[in-house]
């Protein structure tokens, strides 16, 4: 319990995608929350009720909890140390040049907070880290904190899906509690008392297992995606239909249909970096079979991008120079403006490098894309993107694109050729409207 028997006072270190979402949702569960970031601009925007990224439902929830007084923001670690009973570490662990995880921001956060821990408190890691990191952070925190061994540390990995982060935070499918003491478990069960009361399972385990849960889950999902994309290649070679294959094997309850979506493969800020960091951790420990598996999964995934570029090249007769290409979608997934490791942007780069004139439309991600790829042309409508195009590429499965009228679009393109790299459009409807449609893995 918090002091005087009241609800816990929670701090959240880091207000990026994970941290801001977690801070808002902790406040919405009834806790008093103080969030901190070293980026003053982030703090100022959040305090005004502005979310600097696209995530459905998050901004109104931020404003609601600011108005209630349960959520505040600061730039002072001294304030955080004085305020919090529980301190959630939500800073980024990006991919380092060698493929392993860059933990510098996480260590810096602990270094900044620990000197201000003067009483019994619990640090809780949520960032995705290599196994063994938690023990190192616990030793570092206790060595620097005035409270010494009264400081404990737990690991509580996040499983947020971009586009569904609020729901995943408030009603997760499971809560993993990596702890070293009964006290830490009791505190975390109080933090999550509301979702636990609804029957959501909590799994208590040691720190190392909790660290591995997240990367193991992501490695499995990445493997499942790469598996169905290998099946797409086999279907192309055999004249079979990968969507029918996926439906058939997905009905096996041991397999399941989720993440058996063939097409362009995965991207974003989690799966690619996490499997590469996991591979690096496996290599350090000599688990060579895991290194081999993850290397293959990564290579298959990147190969899908090359395959779509190859299909585009073939569709225009082999030479992309001067050809107008319309691209529908550059967010790495729908319901997100995240363009980190975007398969769609990667394909734009490949085509542009061969002289293609690429015009991009995306419902929400164009501003982010323009910042990192200013050489592409960005337009506000599908019609503008498709004007005089010789090929239309469907690269992000936004629901907006399923509502396109293929007959109307056929009137404005130079050639009615569609490559549905996400395998989600109504191919029959497009073909009835006179389009030549290429779908990887389908006849």
What digits encode the pLDDT tens for the residues 301-332? 999 999 999 999 999 999 999 999 999 999 99
Do 331 and 348 lie in one domain? The reply is yes
Binned at pLDDT 50, 70 and 90, residue 293 comes out as: very high
Do 20 and 125 lie in one domain? The reply is yes
Do 131 and 94 lie in one domain? The reply is yes
In a domain, 88, yes or no: yes
Domain boundary among 173, 205, 237: 205
In a domain, 331, yes or no: yes
pLDDT of residue 345: 97
- Pseudo-torsion of CA 344, 347, 353, 357, nearest 10°? -60
Do 419 and 284 lie in one domain? The reply is no
In a domain, 210, yes or no: no
In a domain, 428, yes or no: yes
128 alpha-carbon distance from chain centroid: 12
pLDDT of residue 52: 93
Do 161 and 286 lie in one domain? The reply is no
Over residues 114-137, mean pLDDT: 96
Buried b (16+ CB within 10 A) or exposed e, 181-206: eeebbebbebbbeebeeeeeeeebee
Which residues are the active-site residues? 270
Q: Residue 291 belongs to what domain range?
A: 215-299
Do 292 and 310 lie in one domain? The reply is no
257 alpha-carbon distance from chain centroid: 20
pLDDT of residue 3: 40
Between the alpha carbon of residue 375 and those of residues 43, 332, 372, 389, the distances in Å are 31, 19, 9, 18
Q: For the sheet with 151-155, list strands across it.
A: 71-74, 32-36, 9-13, 86-89, 121-125, 151-155, 175-178, 202-205
What's the Rg (C-alpha) of the chain? 24
The domain that holds 228 is classified in CATH as 1.10.1040.10
What would the two tokens of residue 274 be?
């996490």
Average pLDDT score over the chain: 95
Do 221 and 84 lie in one domain? The reply is no
Domain boundary among 266, 299, 332: 299
Give the three-class secondary structure for 363. Answer: coil
| pTM for the predicted model, two decimal places | 0.92
Do the beta carbons of residue 157 and residue 126 sit within 8 Å? yes
Domain boundary among 299, 324, 353: 299
Domain tally for the chain? Answer: 3
For residue range 218-266, what is the model confidence (pLDDT) as tens digits? Answer: 999 999 999 999 999 999 999 999 999 999 999 999 999 999 999 999 9
The answer on pLDDT for 6 being more than 60 is no
Do 13 and 145 lie in one domain? The reply is yes
pLDDT of residue 5: 40
The domain that holds 182 is classified in CATH as 3.40.50.720
The answer on pLDDT for 2 being more than 70 is no
Do the beta carbons of residue 241 and residue 442 sit within 8 Å? yes
Do 276 and 308 lie in one domain? The reply is no
Over residues 55-71, mean pLDDT: 97
In a domain, 443, yes or no: no
Do 223 and 308 lie in one domain? The reply is no
In a domain, 37, yes or no: yes
The answer on pLDDT for 4 being more than 80 is no
For residue range 159-185, what is the model confidence (pLDDT) as tens digits? Answer: 999 999 999 999 999 999 999 999 999
CB contact set of 424 (below 8 Å; sequence gap of 6+): 263, 394, 397, 402
pLDDT of residue 12: 98
pLDDT of residue 240: 97
Do 128 and 155 lie in one domain? The reply is yes
In the block, which residue shows the tokens 């097409």?
263
pLDDT of residue 98: 86
Do 75 and 143 lie in one domain? The reply is yes
Over residues 69-79, mean pLDDT: 97
In the chain, the percentage of residues whose pLDDT exceeds 70 is 99
Number of C-beta neighbours around residue 40 at 10 A: 9
In a domain, 411, yes or no: yes
For residue range 361-418, what is the model confidence (pLDDT) as tens digits? Answer: 999 999 999 999 999 999 999 999 999 999 999 999 999 999 999 999 999 999 999 9
Binned at pLDDT 50, 70 and 90, residue 99 comes out as: confident
404 alpha-carbon distance from chain centroid: 27
In a domain, 36, yes or no: yes
Binned at pLDDT 50, 70 and 90, residue 7 comes out as: confident
CB contact set of 314 (below 8 Å; sequence gap of 6+): none
């Amino acid at each position: 319990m918090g002091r005087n028997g009241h609800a816990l006072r929670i701090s959240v270190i880091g207000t990026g995608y994970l941290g801001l979402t977690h801070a808002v949702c902790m406040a919405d569960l009834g806790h008093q929350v103080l969030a901190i970031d070293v980026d003053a601009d982030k703090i100022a925007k959040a305090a005004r009720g502005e979310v600097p990224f696209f995530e459905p439902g998050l901004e109104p929830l931020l404003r609601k909890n600011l108005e209630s007084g349960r959520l505040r923001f600061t730039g002072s670690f001294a304030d955080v140390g004085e305020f919090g009973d529980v301190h959630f570490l939500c800073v980024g662990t990006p991919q380092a040049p060698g493929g392993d995880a860059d933990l510098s921001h996480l260590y810096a956060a602990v270094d900044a907070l620990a000197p201000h821990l003067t009483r019994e408190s619990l640090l809780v890691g949520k960032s995705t880290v290599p196994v063994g990191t938690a023990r190192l952070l616990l030793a570092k925190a206790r060595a620097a904190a005035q409270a010494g061994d009264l400081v404990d540390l737990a690991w509580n990995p996040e499983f947020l899906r971009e586009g569904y982060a609020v729901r995943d935070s408030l009603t997760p499918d499971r809560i993993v509690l990596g702890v070293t003491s009964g006290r830490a478990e009791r505190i975390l069960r109080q933090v999550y008392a509301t979702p636990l009361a609804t029957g959501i399972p909590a799994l208590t385990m040691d720190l190392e297992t909790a660290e591995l849960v997240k990367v193991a889950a992501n490695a499995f999902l990445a493997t499942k995606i790469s598996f169905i994309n290998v099946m797409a290649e086999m279907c192309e070679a055999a004249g079979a239909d990968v969507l029918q294959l996926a439906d058939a094997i997905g009905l096996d309850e041991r397999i399941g249909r989720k993440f058996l979506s063939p097409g362009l493969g995965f991207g974003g800020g989690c799966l690619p970096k996490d499997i590469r960091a996991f591979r690096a951790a496996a290599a350090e420990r000599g688990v060579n079979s895991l290194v081999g598996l993850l290397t293959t999964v990564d290579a298959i995934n990147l190969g899908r991008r090359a395959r779509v570029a190859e299909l585009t090249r073939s569709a225009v007769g082999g030479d992309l120079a001067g050809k107008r290409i319309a691209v529908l979608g550059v967010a790495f997934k729908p319901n997100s403006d995240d363009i980190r490791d975007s398969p769609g942007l990667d394909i734009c780069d490949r085509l542009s490098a061969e002289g293609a004139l690429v015009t991009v439309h995306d419902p929400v991600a164009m501003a982010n894309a323009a910042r990192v790829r200013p050489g592409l042309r960005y337009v506000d409508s599908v019609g503008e993107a498709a004007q005089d195009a010789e090929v239309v590429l469907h690269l992000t499965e936004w629901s907006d694109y399923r509502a396109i009228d293929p007959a109307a679009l056929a009137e404005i393109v130079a050639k009615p050729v569609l490559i549905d790299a996400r395998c989600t459009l109504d191919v029959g409807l497009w073909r009835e409207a006179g389009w030549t449609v290429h779908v990887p893995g389908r006849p």
